[in-house]
A and B are shown apart, each in its own frame.
Chain A
Amino acid sequence: MNFAPVAYKPKGEKIKMESIQFRKPETVDEAVKLLQGADGNAKILAGGTDLLVQLRAHMIDPSVIVDIKHIDETRELTKNVDGSYTIGAAVAGAEAHERDDITADWPGVIEAWDLIGSTQIQGRASLGGNLCNASPAGDSVPAMVAAGMTANIAGPDGRRTLPVEEITAGPGKTNLKKGEFIVSFNLPAKPSNGGDAYLRLIPRTEMDIAVVGCGAALTLDDSGTVTSAKISLGAVAATVLVVEDAANAIIGTKLEPEAMSALDAACQAACNPIDDKRGTVEYRTKVAGVLGKRVVKIAADRAGNKV
């Protein structure tokens, strides 16, 4: 057995040899009861790619781990009759990536999901986990936001649905109430003449946390004019950003240079990043504009069927 040292914060209180409970509820209701009963001290296990790291580093101290993967709703990946998708919160990226239909309809969402970590991480990483871990740099989030995804939440007070951008409250924090968890996501039907894309900037070619991430989804009319757009930035603020000014800069345009400049400026203006080991304020801000332009171009090409 092996544990990371905790020498940073010596605890004052007596050491108890803790033992964490492990539960595998098979229904949503069971899961909700467990989360409620643990009084804020439960942790959800989907893919575990964040949870196990935090557990080992003693960053969290749960009394119970609730494995939600035995609840059917969290594992489904269904294309609905109306063309929309229901994606279970615990579905692994590798499974989604193997689905031709969702990859064709929403390549941006899939490529963003696919960028979370290595192939091994992909074998486990879920949208629910990536979102609720609430790292400002979570790769899937800007693409989910741009695509207009919503989250189906279950809790002691029943079910509710929220747009993805309303889930995170700050680094490591969500707006979920005690006893709530995300069961699945709704991904709208692909609009005709719609295209989405996600790009991120990392120092290497793989394996890095995004220094900046940008998701864009837009629709074009037959003349190639942008009729609707949603642009989302990650890793440049405490939570994911929806950059309305960037969308407005390109709606009604054919992405001419002036529109792209305005888009660039709007992305930069929206940034409120920090200096940390992954990037400086100046760098993130500048690159947010660069990625905004690049990702919009790809989304537009996809919408116009050029890709």
Chain B
Amino acid sequence: MSSENRKYKWVGTRQIRPDGHDKVTGRAKFGSDFSVSGMIHGRVLRSPHAHAIIKSIDTSDAESLNGVKAIITSKDFKDQSPELKAAGEGMINYKDMTRNIMAREKALYDGHAVAAVAATTAEIAEAALELIKVDYEVLPHVIDVDEAMKDGAPILHEDMVPSGITIDGPTNIAKFVEFSLGDTKKGFEEADIIIERSYKTEAVHQGYIEPHAVVASVTEDGQAQIWCCTQGQFQVRAFVAQLLGMPTSSIRVTPSEIGGGFGGKTVVYLEPLATLLSKKSGKPVKMIMTREEVFRASGPTSGGSMTYKIGAKKDGKITAVEGSNKLLAGAFSGAPAGPACMCAVAPYDIKNVYINGYDVVVNRPKVAAYRAPGAPISAFGAESIIDEVAKELGIDPLTIRKLNAAKKGTQAAYGPTFREIGYEQTLDIAIEHDHYLSPLGPNQGRGVASGFWFNIGGESSATVNINEDGTAVVISGSPDIGGSRASLALMAAETLGIDYDKVRPIVADTASVGYNFVTGGSRVTFATGLAVVEAAKDAVRQLCERAAKIWEVDAEAVIWDDGHAKPASSNVGDFEPLSLSSLAGQANKTGGPICGHNAQNVQGAGPAFATHICDVEVDPETGNVTILRYTAIQDVGRAIHPSYVEGQIQGGAAQGIGWALNEEYIYNSKGKLDNPGFLDYRIPVASDLPMIDAVIVEVPNDRHPYGVRGVGEVPIVPPMAAVANAIENATGVRMSALPMSPPRLLAALDQANVKEAAE
């Protein structure tokens, strides 16, 4: 189906979101705001060691504490086989998952859950934790990806056999992937210049302000109800079912409002524990992570160690790129090595590419998805090295990108051929933007960088119920992180031809709507939106049939226009248009309730590209960096609700800036996390950032009725390189490790000054 650039009545307007009033008054219920009567409280005992064999756990003293109702350890969970099982789009290793939620043979990171207690008060649960005796045999640990790959490194899983690569003996390498196109040897021979560099990034946390929280209630008949803040209630249901050996149908998961996720709440930590504690105690159990637990024990994204080699001709045409991304996975395999490789140079038309990736386990919490997983890491390297090529050749950094830009018909190194895409448009806008043309002062510099993310589709189900009074309820199953309910309502209103105010979108639990894959992957407005539109069209079809019945004509003779059923032509007859509300009022007489449905595994997600421009000022005596100005230009396909699209772009850019400048995990020599709090895990605060100018480009995705691509993830891909390139421009110093915090930058500046003085 085509999507012409026509004027829409609702799509593209900035309506007030349907959940807005609850959110600005404090009424909205987030994960920890939920309570049920008779509820008891759960707490988790966590390993103080980065790597240790668990020789025994003695819970007897804790069990005898008055008020303790249940205690669980790994022996309460059935072991799982290592064969991957499907849950939604992903293939899941439950053997790893059961060990992550509750340590079995070993504690594999500081903060790893070892036991859990439910008691009548949180205070008693805390006291009970102190009575649990765990006998640890502390082992040497490793937290650095390069160290973990060396011979003689402490091994986390003796029996782990890597996939994609053969290694003699035990290893921490879980997976190896590689992508190639053309012949890089030949490509480098054609090059006039070749640059080779190494890069390093630190693990960073998604940083959602809301800690994980759950209330689980299992009744005597084995029925479980789970309320939790999650990006995917269907995932939670699937995981809990598998981990606890319960039938899927016996579990009902209701997602609360969610206080941020960014990928980090597409997994489970507390949910299986709370459910099992509830089963054992016979009472509903509430569990919340403290901020410290969130940092110690919930998934960050990988840190990476990368090398890139790039060859280019004098005119700027890139002839070859080779790269290697070694990403740390945390305690279990799962680093986004594949996407890191696939996205690294995806904005470019390069004929000879070879990029490989390693997924390496280390003694840290298991990584979880974080906004375009892997891509920001590899883009930091790729976009920095392209900048160096531009500088060496004396070509403007946007011009060199334009010269090599991927377009419709370009084959990406990871396989597919692009359909219509908007990358070049982002460059064209950047190069003429006021930001790019404005002057800079002393100690100031400007950097640009581009980025890419595939975006995904996935399982989506939606129902559109037409109420008797002509209003509509749109039921879907995608937790709303960024305003997607508003977008779904806009698209439904547009399709039905009724006012936005007459459409009520709700996010349903797992028992009330068909399967929906997680909110993530920039997929909700695209895929859930597509299902909503198709469900609305299904309702429209039924409404036309009802009109046909009333008029006693064939259904094909009725069309839908502007919220009304109309005769397809004057030949059909002289009938007054019937409004949706009028048809709705007659629904019972014409056949019964009108409900539109759609369920599908949505394909055809449109890849998204962005180009960012960043100005910095560097204090040469302290290494402090001020972000003076930031512009983010992105092709979103179609901005259904422009304000929330801008918001996604601004938020992703802000996270990328934090990643670039100050965010990192700091571990001490024992492998314990030294900064598990917002004081020393430094996300950007309001005074750290300027206004972020979000420029929306619309090159519609022809596989979506309104042209939507995803928007949420690409914005985090360019910022680190944009900031690094700006710092280089301001100081002449190239930072190749993140974060570019003041001590590191000052040391680099001082080293450069010493070198300069010596020359």
CB–CB under 8 A between A and B in the complex?
Answer: yes
A50 to chain B minimum Cβ distance, whole angstroms, is 12
Chain A positions within 8 Å of B743 at CB level: 279-280, 283
Q: A6-B130, A7-B129 are in contact. Are A204 and B290 (CB under 8 A)?
A: no
Chain B positions within 8 Å of A209 at CB level: 679-680
Which one of A10-18, A21-29, A157-165, A216-224 is at the B interface?
A10-18
**A1 near B: Cβ within 8 Å?**
yes
* Contact across chains for A7 and B45 when beta carbons are under 8 A apart: yes
**B731 near A: Cβ within 8 Å?**
no
* Contact across chains for A287 and B126 when beta carbons are under 8 A apart: no
* Contact across chains for B123 and A201 when beta carbons are under 8 A apart: no
Considering the complex, give the chain A residue whose CB is closest to the CB of B744: A283
Q: A1-B123, A6-B130, A287-B622 are in contact. Are A204 and B292 (CB under 8 A)?
A: no
Chain A positions within 8 Å of B133 at CB level: 10
Q: Which of A8, A11, A204, A286 has the most CB of B within 10 A?
A: A204
A231 to chain B minimum Cβ distance, whole angstroms, is 18
A205–B131 Cα gap in the complex (Å)?
A: 43
A192 to chain B minimum Cβ distance, whole angstroms, is 32
Considering the complex, give the chain B residue whose CB is closest to the CB of A12: B130
**A290 near B: Cβ within 8 Å?**
yes
* Contact across chains for B45 and A206 when beta carbons are under 8 A apart: no
* Contact across chains for A5 and B123 when beta carbons are under 8 A apart: no
* Contact across chains for B685 and A207 when beta carbons are under 8 A apart: yes
Give 12 A-B contacts (CB < 8 Å), ordered by A residue: A1-B122, A2-B122, A3-B122, A5-B45, A6-B129, A7-B129, A11-B130, A17-B127, A201-B624, A204-B685, A277-B666, A286-B750
* Contact across chains for A207 and B742 when beta carbons are under 8 A apart: no
Q: A15-B127, A208-B682, A278-B680 are in contact. Are A5 and B293 (CB under 8 A)?
A: yes
A207–B685 Cα gap in the complex (Å)?
A: 8
B59 to chain A minimum Cβ distance, whole angstroms, is 13
Annotate A245-286 by CB proximity to B: 1 below 8 A, 0 otherwise.
Answer: 000000000000000000000000000000001111011001
B630 to chain A minimum Cβ distance, whole angstroms, is 15
* Contact across chains for A201 and B622 when beta carbons are under 8 A apart: yes
Chain A positions within 8 Å of B130 at CB level: 6, 10-11, 15
Considering the complex, give the chain B residue whose CB is closest to the CB of A58: B126
A2–B290 Cα gap in the complex (Å)?
A: 7
Chain B positions within 8 Å of A278 at CB level: 680
**A4 near B: Cβ within 8 Å?**
yes
Chain A positions within 8 Å of B288 at CB level: 2
Considering the complex, give the chain B residue whose CB is closest to the CB of A5: B46
* Contact across chains for B687 and A205 when beta carbons are under 8 A apart: yes
Annotate A190-222 by CB proximity to B: 1 below 8 A, 0 otherwise.
Answer: 000000000001011111110100000000000
Chain A positions within 8 Å of B542 at CB level: none
A260 to chain B minimum Cβ distance, whole angstroms, is 12
- Interface of B toward A, CB cutoff 8 Å: 41, 43-48, 65, 121-124, 126-127, 129-131, 133, 288, 290, 292-293, 621-624, 626, 661-662, 666, 674-675, 678-680, 682, 684-685, 687-688, 741-743, 746-747, 750
The number of chain A residues with a CB under 8 A from chain B is: 30
B205 to chain A minimum Cβ distance, whole angstroms, is 15
A75–B523 Cα gap in the complex (Å)?
A: 56
* Contact across chains for A5 and B675 when beta carbons are under 8 A apart: no
Annotate A166-208 by CB proximity to B: 1 below 8 A, 0 otherwise.
Answer: 0000000000000000000000000000000000010111111
* Contact across chains for B47 and A7 when beta carbons are under 8 A apart: yes
A201–B623 Cα gap in the complex (Å)?
A: 10
* Contact across chains for B122 and A283 when beta carbons are under 8 A apart: no
Chain A positions within 8 Å of B623 at CB level: 283
A141–B24 Cα gap in the complex (Å)?
A: 39
A286–B619 Cα gap in the complex (Å)?
A: 14
B46, B127, B131, B746: the one contacting A7 at CB < 8 Å is B46
Chain B positions within 8 Å of A205 at CB level: 626, 685, 687-688
Q: A282-B747, A283-B747 are in contact. Are A203 and B687 (CB under 8 A)?
A: no
A17–B119 Cα gap in the complex (Å)?
A: 14
Q: Which of A8, A15, A286 has the most CB of B within 10 A?
A: A15
A3, A7, A207, A283: the one contacting B679 at CB < 8 Å is A207
Chain B positions within 8 Å of A204 at CB level: 662, 682, 684-685, 687-688
* Contact across chains for B622 and A290 when beta carbons are under 8 A apart: yes
A206 to chain B minimum Cβ distance, whole angstroms, is 5
